[in-house]
């Protein structure tokens, strides 16, 4: 059994009701629900929420609702707390849990299945979605800027830098026992599911929303035309 859990609490501050804000004409969360519902390997899609309106929208989009208690929906509540509560609420405990964040609506048709197969068929205990990162990074040490991943005196081309990946917040897949034992979405042998940079933006602020919606208008992504 493979189940998706989409956490969607109602207390967003930067964008009120962020999870159901209109995105390209439909509630934001509906894209993620549809992507999960139409993928080959997911058996059931759940939305964990404390908000009646989010629950109504999610139910209409095809998800089964998990009523999240208020103490697990505070600003300080972790996603892992919501996931573990969801496992207790799901009638038939899944072998594999897929965590999707609806604030990352841009996914390709095969992204979910490919990420799930890394756990189901390739032997990883958990998987995180990322995009390749060719950035030059700096930090401060003793009040002076210091390069992290390159030597300015021998500046490499970006494509010649050591390969790095940026976690994009879109897809997490884990064995149930890893989540329960580690109390964390990632643990054991961790695999990376690589996604394009243009599909690796999360909506946390109004500016993010404008950027992601502009990208969504101009690219094809799963559930865009449902």
Cα separation, 82 vs 221, whole angstroms? 27
Long-range contacts: 154-163, Cβ < 8 Å, 24+? 158/134, 159/134, 161/134, 161/136, 163/132
Q: Confirm whether 155 is a catalytic residue.
A: yes
Q: In CATH, what is the architecture of 2-218? A: Alpha-Beta Complex (3.90)
Provide the whole-model pTM.
0.92
Other Cβ atoms closer than 10 A to 188 = 15
Find, among 114, 87, 122, 134, the residue nearest to 222 by Cα.
114
State how far the Cα of 201 lies from the Cα of 132, in Å rounded to an integer. 13
Check 59, 74, 155, 158 and give the catalytic one: 155
> CB under 8 Å to 76, separation ≥6 — which residues?
none
Per-residue pLDDT of the chain (226 residues; tens, 9 = 90+): 999 999 998 877 778 889 999 999 999 999 999 999 999 999 999 999 989 999 999 999 999 999 988 777 777 778 899 999 999 899 888 999 999 999 999 999 999 999 999 999 999 999 999 999 888 889 999 999 998 888 888 887 777 777 889 999 999 999 999 999 999 999 999 999 999 999 999 999 999 999 999 999 999 999 998 7
CA distance 121 to 110: 15
Residues in CB range of 131: below 8 A, 6 or more apart: 165, 166, 168, 194, 195, 196, 197, 199, 200
């Amino acid at each position: 059994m493979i189940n998706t859990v989409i956490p969607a609490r109602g207390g967003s501050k930067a964008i009120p009701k962020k999870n159901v804000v209109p995105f390209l004409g439909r509630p934001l969360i509906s894209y993620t629900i549809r992507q999960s519902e139409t993928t080959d390997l997911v058996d059931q899609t759940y939305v964990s929420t404390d908000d009646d309106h989010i629950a109504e929208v999610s139910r209409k989009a095809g998800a089964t609702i998990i009523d999240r208690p208020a103490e697990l929906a505070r600003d300080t509540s972790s996603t892992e707390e919501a996931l573990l509560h969801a496992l207790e609420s799901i009638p038939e405990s899944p072998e594999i849990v897929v965590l999707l964040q609806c604030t990352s609506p841009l996914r390709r048709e095969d992204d979910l299945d490919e990420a799930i197969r890394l756990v189901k068929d390739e032997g990883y205990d958990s998987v995180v979605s990322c995009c390749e990162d060719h950035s030059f990074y700096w930090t401060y040490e003793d009040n002076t800027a210091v390069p992290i991943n390159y030597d300015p005196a021998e500046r490499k081309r970006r494509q010649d830098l050591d390969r790095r990946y940026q976690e994009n917040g879109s897809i997490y897949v884990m064995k149930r026992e890893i989540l329960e034992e580690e109390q964390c979405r990632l643990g054991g042998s961790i695999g990376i599911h690589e996604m394009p940079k243009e599909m690796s933006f999360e909506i946390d602020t109004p500016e993010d929303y404008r950027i992601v919606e502009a990208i969504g208008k101009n690219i094809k992504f799963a559930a865009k035309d449902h």
